[in-house]
């Protein structure tokens, strides 16, 4: 088996990647304990210690955390676009040994045994390894490659 294809790391790809990987990410949940703690410490500082600066700072940190959670997708996509890889072409090679990606001189490879799980999404697949989640979009894959990957990872 030998498949090869390319795609561009553009805004549309990063949005798709975030949306398809989010359900399988541990960072997808809001940090309720942190928010409650910051507000409680802020109120304690204001009313218990009579330190309004510290209290307001803690409460503003909680508000900032809420804003960061609300805009997490837009912020993640923008950070990826600002990175060195943003806007560049990625070459993906799929062989009997595993998957290899090349981007601006940076080569990453995974053997089939490194993947612990595979999740089929509506627009691609999420491969889970010890190193994290890896997303491959259906939009650029050659015909028949998706079935080959599903067979290799399930073995």
CATH number at residue 96: 2.30.29.30
What is the number of structural domains in the chain?
2
Asked if residue 98 and residue 72 are part of one domain, the reply reads: no
pLDDT digits (tens, 9 = 90+) for 62-97: 999 999 889 999 999 999 999 988 889 999 999 999
Q: Residue 34 pLDDT more than 80?
A: yes
On whether both 118 and 143 belong to a single domain, the answer is yes
**Which pLDDT score is estimated for 123?**
92
Residue 94 placed within a domain: yes
* pLDDT given at position 57: 96
Contacts of 42 (CB under 8 A, 6+ apart): 54, 55, 56, 57, 58, 59, 62
Question: Does residue 43 surpass a pLDDT of 80?
Answer: yes
Q: CA nearest 92: which of 129, 132, 146?
A: 146
Residues 61 and 99 placed together within one structural domain of the fold = no
Question: Where among 57, 79, 101 does a domain terminate?
Answer: 79
Whether 99 and 47 share a structural domain: no
The reply to whether 66 falls in a domain is yes
pLDDT at site 155: 59
- Could you tell me if residue 98 is left (phi over 0), alpha (psi between -120 and 50 degrees) or otherwise beta? left
Asked if residue 38 is part of any domain, the answer here is yes
Per-residue CA distances from 30 to 65, 72, 140 (Å): 9, 11, 33
Q: Say if 114 falls within a structural domain.
A: yes
132 has pLDDT over 90: no
Q: Which domain holds residue 57?
A: 26-79
């Amino acid at each position: 088996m030998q498949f090869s294809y390319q795609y561009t790391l553009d805004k549309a790809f990063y949005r798709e990647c975030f949306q398809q990987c989010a359900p399988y990410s541990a960072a997808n949940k809001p940090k309720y304990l942190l928010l409650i703690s910051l507000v409680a410490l802020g109120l304690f500082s204001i009313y218990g210690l009579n330190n309004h600066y510290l209290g307001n700072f803690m409460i503003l940190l909680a508000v900032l955390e809420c804003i960061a959670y609300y805009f997490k997708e837009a912020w993640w996509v923008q950070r990826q676009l600002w990175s060195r890889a943003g806007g560049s072409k990625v070459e993906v090679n799929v062989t009997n040994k595993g998957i290899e990606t090349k981007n601006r001189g940076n080569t990453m490879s995974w053997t089939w045994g490194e993947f612990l799980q595979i999740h089929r999404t509506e627009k691609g697949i999420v491969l889970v390894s010890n190193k994290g989640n890896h997303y491959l979009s259906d939009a650029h894959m050659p015909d028949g490659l998706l079935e080959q990957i599903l067979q290799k990872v399930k073995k």
